[in-house]
Amino acid sequence: MAGKHKGLGRGLDALIKDGTSAKKQAVTQKAPVKAVAKAEPAAGGVREVAVAKVVASPWQPRSTFDSEALTELVESVKVHGVLQPLLVREVGSKFELIAGERRLRASQAAMMKTVPVIVIEASDEKALEIALIENLQREDLNPIEEAEGYALLQKKFNLTQEQVAQQVGKARASIANALRLLELSDGIRKYVAEGLLSVGHAKVLLSLETEKDQAMLAKKAIKDGMSVRTLEKLVKKLTMPPKKPRAEKSDLPSDYLQTLTDELHQFLGTSVRIAPSKTLANGKKIKGSLEIDYHDNDELDRLLTMIGYVSDL
């Protein structure tokens, strides 16, 4: 994901430590979203729990994982174990993952029996917030995953863009720009997620009205290796309104023009076309033309004689 994430405000430590003086409340799947406003560390610090008891998070914003990097992590886990505890919350007899998806996957692939975890108490909203921030701070999310995470936070908990921005410590404009990426078609979103197009390219494509035009230029941008600036120029060219025709007035009335054309046709015995001269709004003139058809040299000689032309040759 291009660029550095800034303005995240609180880190994971701050989120986990928030509310340590508040009275602890039990967290269940049916609890209201706002029932637990802050994440609190459960007693006991780091614990070892069975890998089988750790379940995937429904709030995981990441959907793609680098297979090569994951393979390397699996090998490391086999040798050294999991060095950084997973962040989980207790849900019934299971531990729902909040942060540490790659470490969990690597542990499962390495056939580990247990993993170290830190159990915290967190509402659904807080669990999603922590999962988002953890990935953003590690720059693990591609732009589309980031946007989908914000959209999920906004939709699931009925938050405004301003509230989402406050939750993740970013400017509201950054949230708005990210969410706009979700207006793109699935195909173009895939290009952005895979890094074939940058966020800058995507923003330029959003200025086009139809998905057909967006898809056509997206493919061309990838094929030609266009810079964002080049794509901007091309889009501007395509979306520029056509120039208004210059105000002009024919020097011959249309009815007279037709009459004159018919009479010349009868007089000369051949087809005739007249384009009248025109006067522009600024007074300038556009020349007219007279075209007379002929089929061979004999007919040309006849026509020249009719108009009074005599050659000296």
12-183: CATH topology:
3.90.1530
What residue ranges do the domains of the chain occupy? 12-183, 194-240, 248-306
Residue 74, pLDDT score: 85
Average of pLDDT values for 126-152?
78
More confidently predicted of 61 and 46? 46
Assign 138 a pLDDT band (cuts: 50, 70, 90): low
Mode of pairing for the β-strands spanning 54-55 and 94-99: parallel
| Catalytic annotation, pick one of 72, 75, 96, 101 | 101
How many C-beta atoms lie closer than 10 Å to residue 239's C-beta? 11
75 a catalytic residue: no
Question: Binning pLDDT at 50, 70 and 90, where does residue 9 land?
Answer: very low
Q: Where are the beta strands (DSSP E) in the chain?
A: 40-50, 54-55, 86-91, 94-99, 114-121, 248-250, 272-275, 278-280, 285-286, 289-292
Convert the pLDDT of each residue in 227-269 to its tens digit: 999 999 999 888 887 777 667 888 888 889 999 999 999 999 9
* C-alpha span between 164 and 172 (Å, rounded): 8
- For 84-102, how does the pLDDT look when each residue is reduced to its tens digit (9 = 90+)? 898 888 888 899 988 888 8
pLDDT band with cut points at 50, 70 and 90 for residue 70 = confident
The pLDDT of residue 20? 35
Give 102-137 pLDDT, tens digit per residue: 888 888 888 889 999 999 888 887 887 777 777 666
